[in-house]
Amino acid sequence: MTTSSRTLGDWFSAFEHEAFRLETLDDYSQSGGVDAYRAFLAGEEQPDDYRNAGWVRTVAAAAKAGKRMYRVHILSRPLTDYLRFELAWGYHRNMAAGEEFFILDTTGRENPLPEAPDFWLFDDETAVSMGYDENGKYLGAEFLEGSRAADYKAYRDTAMAHAVPFSEWWAEHSE
Protein backbone atom coordinates (compact mmCIF):
# COMPACT_ATOMS: atom_id res chain seq x y z
CA MET A 1 0.00 0.00 0.00
CA THR A 2 1.30 3.41 -0.94
CA THR A 3 0.76 6.05 1.66
CA SER A 4 0.18 9.72 1.10
CA SER A 5 0.99 12.65 3.32
CA ARG A 6 -2.41 14.02 2.30
CA THR A 7 -5.72 12.82 3.64
CA LEU A 8 -8.59 12.07 1.30
CA GLY A 9 -10.14 15.38 2.31
CA ASP A 10 -6.90 17.19 1.40
CA TRP A 11 -7.02 15.81 -2.13
CA PHE A 12 -10.28 17.62 -2.90
CA SER A 13 -8.51 20.96 -2.78
CA ALA A 14 -5.04 19.73 -3.83
CA PHE A 15 -5.90 18.17 -7.19
CA GLU A 16 -5.01 20.34 -10.16
CA HIS A 17 -7.20 19.25 -13.07
CA GLU A 18 -9.73 16.52 -12.36
CA ALA A 19 -11.13 14.24 -9.71
CA PHE A 20 -13.06 11.18 -10.84
CA ARG A 21 -15.20 8.88 -8.68
CA LEU A 22 -16.47 5.39 -9.51
CA GLU A 23 -19.42 4.28 -7.40
CA THR A 24 -20.37 0.61 -7.49
CA LEU A 25 -22.67 0.11 -4.51
CA ASP A 26 -26.46 0.29 -4.27
CA ASP A 27 -26.37 1.60 -0.71
CA TYR A 28 -24.09 4.10 1.04
CA SER A 29 -26.71 4.96 3.65
CA GLN A 30 -24.41 4.37 6.62
CA SER A 31 -21.72 6.72 5.29
CA GLY A 32 -23.23 10.16 5.78
CA GLY A 33 -26.40 12.08 5.09
CA VAL A 34 -28.34 9.67 7.29
CA ASP A 35 -30.81 12.33 8.46
CA ALA A 36 -31.39 13.50 4.90
CA TYR A 37 -31.96 9.91 3.78
CA ARG A 38 -34.57 9.45 6.53
CA ALA A 39 -36.24 12.73 5.48
CA PHE A 40 -36.32 11.53 1.86
CA LEU A 41 -37.92 8.23 2.84
CA ALA A 42 -40.49 10.09 4.97
CA GLY A 43 -41.39 12.42 2.08
CA GLU A 44 -40.09 15.47 3.92
CA GLU A 45 -38.18 18.48 2.62
CA GLN A 46 -34.40 18.40 2.27
CA PRO A 47 -32.79 19.47 5.55
CA ASP A 48 -30.86 22.75 5.35
CA ASP A 49 -27.66 21.11 6.56
CA TYR A 50 -27.92 18.65 3.66
CA ARG A 51 -28.64 21.29 1.00
CA ASN A 52 -25.73 23.39 2.25
CA ALA A 53 -23.28 20.60 3.16
CA GLY A 54 -19.54 21.13 3.06
CA TRP A 55 -19.32 18.89 0.00
CA VAL A 56 -21.37 21.38 -2.01
CA ARG A 57 -18.89 24.13 -1.13
CA THR A 58 -15.97 21.85 -2.04
CA VAL A 59 -17.45 21.11 -5.46
CA ALA A 60 -18.30 24.76 -6.09
CA ALA A 61 -14.76 25.86 -5.18
CA ALA A 62 -13.26 23.30 -7.56
CA ALA A 63 -15.61 24.30 -10.38
CA LYS A 64 -14.84 27.98 -9.82
CA ALA A 65 -11.12 27.18 -10.07
CA GLY A 66 -11.71 25.43 -13.42
CA LYS A 67 -11.24 21.92 -12.04
CA ARG A 68 -13.44 19.03 -13.13
CA MET A 69 -15.17 16.75 -10.64
CA TYR A 70 -17.15 13.90 -12.15
CA ARG A 71 -18.33 10.41 -11.39
CA VAL A 72 -19.88 7.29 -12.83
CA HIS A 73 -22.29 5.18 -10.83
CA ILE A 74 -22.70 1.57 -11.90
CA LEU A 75 -26.24 0.49 -11.11
CA SER A 76 -29.17 -1.59 -12.26
CA ARG A 77 -32.90 -1.10 -12.05
CA PRO A 78 -35.11 -1.24 -10.12
CA LEU A 79 -33.34 1.28 -7.95
CA THR A 80 -32.87 0.72 -4.24
CA ASP A 81 -34.39 3.30 -1.90
CA TYR A 82 -30.91 4.65 -1.29
CA LEU A 83 -30.18 5.08 -5.00
CA ARG A 84 -33.47 6.90 -5.49
CA PHE A 85 -32.37 9.27 -2.69
CA GLU A 86 -28.83 9.71 -3.98
CA LEU A 87 -29.89 10.39 -7.55
CA ALA A 88 -32.92 12.56 -6.81
CA TRP A 89 -31.43 14.66 -4.02
CA GLY A 90 -27.65 14.24 -3.99
CA TYR A 91 -26.84 14.28 -7.67
CA HIS A 92 -29.15 17.21 -8.44
CA ARG A 93 -27.73 19.18 -5.50
CA ASN A 94 -24.13 18.49 -6.51
CA MET A 95 -24.78 19.19 -10.21
CA ALA A 96 -25.94 22.68 -9.26
CA ALA A 97 -22.52 23.18 -7.66
CA GLY A 98 -20.65 21.97 -10.75
CA GLU A 99 -20.13 18.21 -10.38
CA GLU A 100 -20.82 16.01 -13.42
CA PHE A 101 -22.55 12.63 -13.21
CA PHE A 102 -22.80 9.66 -15.52
CA ILE A 103 -24.71 6.39 -15.18
CA LEU A 104 -23.53 2.97 -16.29
CA ASP A 105 -26.82 1.06 -16.20
CA THR A 106 -26.27 -2.69 -16.25
CA THR A 107 -29.97 -3.58 -16.35
CA GLY A 108 -30.26 -6.41 -18.86
CA ARG A 109 -26.59 -6.36 -19.82
CA GLU A 110 -23.23 -7.47 -18.50
CA ASN A 111 -21.29 -5.15 -16.21
CA PRO A 112 -18.05 -4.23 -18.05
CA LEU A 113 -16.34 -3.67 -14.66
CA PRO A 114 -17.55 -6.50 -12.40
CA GLU A 115 -14.43 -6.43 -10.20
CA ALA A 116 -13.83 -2.66 -10.08
CA PRO A 117 -13.76 -1.18 -6.57
CA ASP A 118 -15.18 2.15 -5.49
CA PHE A 119 -12.47 4.75 -5.88
CA TRP A 120 -11.40 8.33 -6.47
CA LEU A 121 -8.75 9.14 -9.10
CA PHE A 122 -6.99 12.50 -8.85
CA ASP A 123 -5.22 13.94 -11.91
CA ASP A 124 -4.67 10.44 -13.35
CA GLU A 125 -1.85 9.95 -10.83
CA THR A 126 -3.30 9.12 -7.43
CA ALA A 127 -6.01 6.53 -6.93
CA VAL A 128 -7.81 6.12 -3.63
CA SER A 129 -9.60 2.82 -3.18
CA MET A 130 -12.66 3.30 -0.98
CA GLY A 131 -13.60 0.58 1.51
CA TYR A 132 -17.20 -0.11 2.60
CA ASP A 133 -18.87 -2.88 4.55
CA GLU A 134 -21.90 -4.85 3.31
CA ASN A 135 -24.25 -2.20 4.76
CA GLY A 136 -22.68 0.75 2.94
CA LYS A 137 -20.66 2.01 5.91
CA TYR A 138 -17.40 3.74 4.95
CA LEU A 139 -14.41 1.86 6.40
CA GLY A 140 -11.47 3.84 5.05
CA ALA A 141 -9.32 4.65 2.06
CA GLU A 142 -6.18 3.13 0.57
CA PHE A 143 -3.91 5.46 -1.43
CA LEU A 144 -2.37 3.96 -4.57
CA GLU A 145 0.08 5.67 -6.90
CA GLY A 146 2.29 4.83 -9.86
CA SER A 147 1.42 1.69 -11.81
CA ARG A 148 -1.59 0.94 -9.59
CA ALA A 149 -3.07 4.34 -10.52
CA ALA A 150 -2.87 3.25 -14.17
CA ASP A 151 -5.22 0.35 -13.40
CA TYR A 152 -7.75 2.78 -11.93
CA LYS A 153 -7.39 5.08 -14.92
CA ALA A 154 -8.32 2.09 -17.11
CA TYR A 155 -11.38 1.44 -14.91
CA ARG A 156 -12.36 5.10 -15.34
CA ASP A 157 -11.93 4.99 -19.11
CA THR A 158 -14.01 1.82 -19.39
CA ALA A 159 -16.74 3.25 -17.15
CA MET A 160 -16.91 6.47 -19.17
CA ALA A 161 -17.03 4.54 -22.45
CA HIS A 162 -20.14 2.67 -21.27
CA ALA A 163 -21.91 5.41 -19.30
CA VAL A 164 -24.42 8.04 -20.33
CA PRO A 165 -24.85 11.52 -18.88
CA PHE A 166 -27.00 11.43 -15.76
CA SER A 167 -29.51 14.00 -17.06
CA GLU A 168 -30.16 11.87 -20.13
CA TRP A 169 -30.52 8.67 -18.07
CA TRP A 170 -32.71 10.41 -15.44
CA ALA A 171 -35.07 11.76 -18.09
CA GLU A 172 -35.74 8.20 -19.20
CA HIS A 173 -35.57 6.26 -15.93
CA SER A 174 -36.41 8.46 -12.95
CA GLU A 175 -38.87 6.79 -10.61
pLDDT in tens, 36-60: 999 999 999 999 999 889 999 999 9
For residue 1, being part of any structural domain is answered with: no
Average pLDDT (141-157) is 90
Q: What's the pLDDT score for residue 4?
A: 54
CB neighbours of 156 closer than 8 A, spacing ≥ 6? Answer: 20, 22, 72, 121
pLDDT category of residue 164 using cuts at 50, 70 and 90: very high
For residue 156, being part of any structural domain is answered with: yes
| Overall number of domains in the chain | 1
What share of the chain in percent tops pLDDT 90?
A: 85
Distances (CA, A) of 146 to 122, 137, 151, 152, 173: 12, 28, 9, 10, 38
pTM reported for the whole predicted model = 0.93
Q: Is a pLDDT exceeding 80 seen at residue 145?
A: no
pLDDT category of residue 62 using cuts at 50, 70 and 90: very high
- Tell me the CATH number at 158: 3.30.870
For residue 152, being part of any structural domain is answered with: yes
Question: Domain limits at 68?
Answer: 8-173
For residue 108, being part of any structural domain is answered with: yes
For residue 37, being part of any structural domain is answered with: yes
> What mean pLDDT is reported for the chain?
93
Q: What's the pLDDT score for residue 166?
A: 98
pLDDT per residue as tens digits for the range 70-101: 999 999 999 999 999 999 999 999 999 999 99
Q: Is a pLDDT exceeding 80 seen at residue 5?
A: no
End-to-end Cα, the chain, rounded Å = 41
Nearest alpha-carbon partner for 155 in 25, 24, 53, 35 = 24
For residue 95, being part of any structural domain is answered with: yes
